[in-house]
Amino acid sequence: MADRDDFGATLTFDLSRPGRIGCVLPPLDVPEAPLPSSGLLRDDITLPELSQPDVVRYFTQLSQRNFSIDTGFYPLGSCSMKYNPRVNEVAARLPGLANVHPMQAQGTTQGALALMHGLQRLLAEITGLHEVSLAPDAGAHGELAGILIASAYHNSNGGPRRRVLVPDSAHGTNPATAAMAGFEVESIPSDAEGNLDFEALRVALDANGNSVAALMLTLPSTLGLFEPRIMQIADLLHDHGALLYGDGANMNAMLGRVKPGDLGFDVFHLNLHKTFSTPHGGGGPGAGPIAVTAALAPFLPAPHVRKDERSGCFSLETPERSIGRLGLFHGNFGVLVRAYAYILSLGADGLRGISEAAVLNANYVQTRLQNAYRLAFDRRCMHEVVISGSRQKAHGVKTLDIAKRLIDYGFHPPTIYFPLIVDEAMMIEPTESETKETLDAFCDAMLAIAKEAEETPELVREAPTTAPLRRLDEATAARKPVLRWKRESS
């Protein structure tokens, strides 16, 4: 095997040796048959030739270099990297759920449909909205569904509206979603307190109210702040015939305490893979259900699970004015199972406890770090805190350097350089899962790095020193990604 110091750059192709095999085929016990024509065969695949121990050791060593919520504190802001209870995995692997096929007759999948219907009703209760669709497969997918519903709603009520308002602190997917749906996007600034500038919103609506379809608002915001005038914002939008769309990426702060429907939201998406505990961070799978008011329910995507109250049977149906399908079949069913198990195991009191602990933990981190780092906004935060590395920048240490130095202390870096309106931003979300001891260890590391930035800034700028791979060329990787390995020509 390769030396462990080089292992991160070693590929299975480098370990390959001609003639080395990992399994032996049994003697042929069926009639011989000719191979397909040469046009269907390839002789340039050049798969690596390895023994079973080679393969097992290779991937085991790679896994030991991976970082996950199971190995350490993972404070990525706006990601809710919480502990994922293993009982949810047991539920998702039950044969009757794991082996169900989406093309089975609905009469043979009543248990799965009952679960989906139950989850729809639970999420409707949690959000305080009328109906829920489980069709979207991710948060941004839910955003797209919600905005398409808004478009269809306006088209059915007197004509199209072509503008969507987006706060300057929004997730980047918000304006991207609106643009993808064919809308013009207008940014609304934040005020000095980090809230949506209410007067700027009023001006935008007074000037173009008849053309505004919706405002896309994250609550709490990406600044980790609750919007104190949220109900006034909703009323102002509704007075102009516009809808209030809610980005629910930060719902972990409100579980059991606030229902978006009670605040005036018309459509609200949830990230089951964040708030409702499905392992995520590796690119999927996810689920982004959308909850809507009664007025928007006829436009929900298909398929939608309905229950016949007379027979008690469940079926997949297409709502009356549905925007159509968002993908094949019924979404990421395994994620739905995990979320259903998570909600039922916690109950109403447990969900409320999650939000209380998440907000408490974030405020504890804010209090411990506020003297060493500048707060983006000096007020009580919700589930995450946004700090700035601007003080450290004065010593030649950037936020990126601080993030890399955290790796040397054994912590995954937080989200950095977002929100974009905060200079040298660091977004820290501890979630409800972490103990005070873990939070103290993280804060101690952050305080130590702040001191290093003043006394030995070169140490921070050279970090990480303990990771297998140190500073990557991130700019080139983003602009010229190499997504497929090719053997170098000799």
Q: Residues 156-207: pLDDT tens digits?
A: 998 889 999 999 999 999 999 999 999 999 999 999 999 999 999 999 999 9
The reported pLDDT for the residue numbered 43 is 75
Q: How many residues does the chain have?
A: 490
pLDDT at 90 over 60: yes
Q: Where are the domains of the chain?
A: 4-64, 86-345, 350-477
151 and 160 Cβ atoms separated by less than 8 Å: yes
Q: Dihedrals φ, ψ of 86, to 5°?
A: -70, -20
Question: What is the rounded average pLDDT for all residues in the chain?
Answer: 93
Residues 6+ apart with CB under 8 A from 457: 395, 396, 397
321 and 152 Cβ atoms separated by less than 8 Å: yes
Q: CATH classification of 86-345 is 3.30.420.40, yes or no?
A: no
Identify the band that residue 482 occupies on the pLDDT scale cut at 50, 70 and 90. confident
For tokens 């008011």, what's the residue? 293
pLDDT at 281 over 80: no
pLDDT at 115 over 90: yes
Q: Quote the CATH superfamily of domain 350-477.
A: Aspartate Aminotransferase, domain 1 (3.90.1150.10)
**Cα-based distances in Å from 305 to 16, 98, 116, 154, 166:** 51, 19, 7, 25, 32
pTM of structure: 0.91
Residue of 210, 186, 188 whose CA lies nearest to 201: 188
User: Token pair of 302, please?
Assistant: 């298909």
65 and 468 Cβ atoms separated by less than 8 Å: yes
Over the Cα atoms of the chain, what is R_g? Answer: 26
The reported pLDDT for the residue numbered 1 is 41
The reported pLDDT for the residue numbered 34 is 85
Task: Please give the average per-residue pLDDT across 235-253, as a whole number.
Answer: 97
pLDDT at 216 over 90: yes
Residue-wise pLDDT for 298-342, tens only, equals: 999 999 999 999 999 999 999 999 999 999 888 899 999 999 999
Alpha-carbon distance of 179 to 144, in angstroms, equals 10
pLDDT at 74 over 70: yes
**Which residues lie across from 167 on neighbouring strands?**
188
Least confidently predicted of 3-17, 135-149, 316-330, 408-422: 3-17
With b for 16 or more beta-carbon neighbours within 10 A and e for fewer, the 42-81 pattern comes to: eeeeeebbbeeebeebbeeeeeeeebebeeebbbbbbbbb
Least confidently predicted of 159-163, 305-309, 343-347, 403-407: 159-163
pLDDT at 4 over 50: no
Alpha-carbon distance of 66 to 75, in angstroms, equals 16
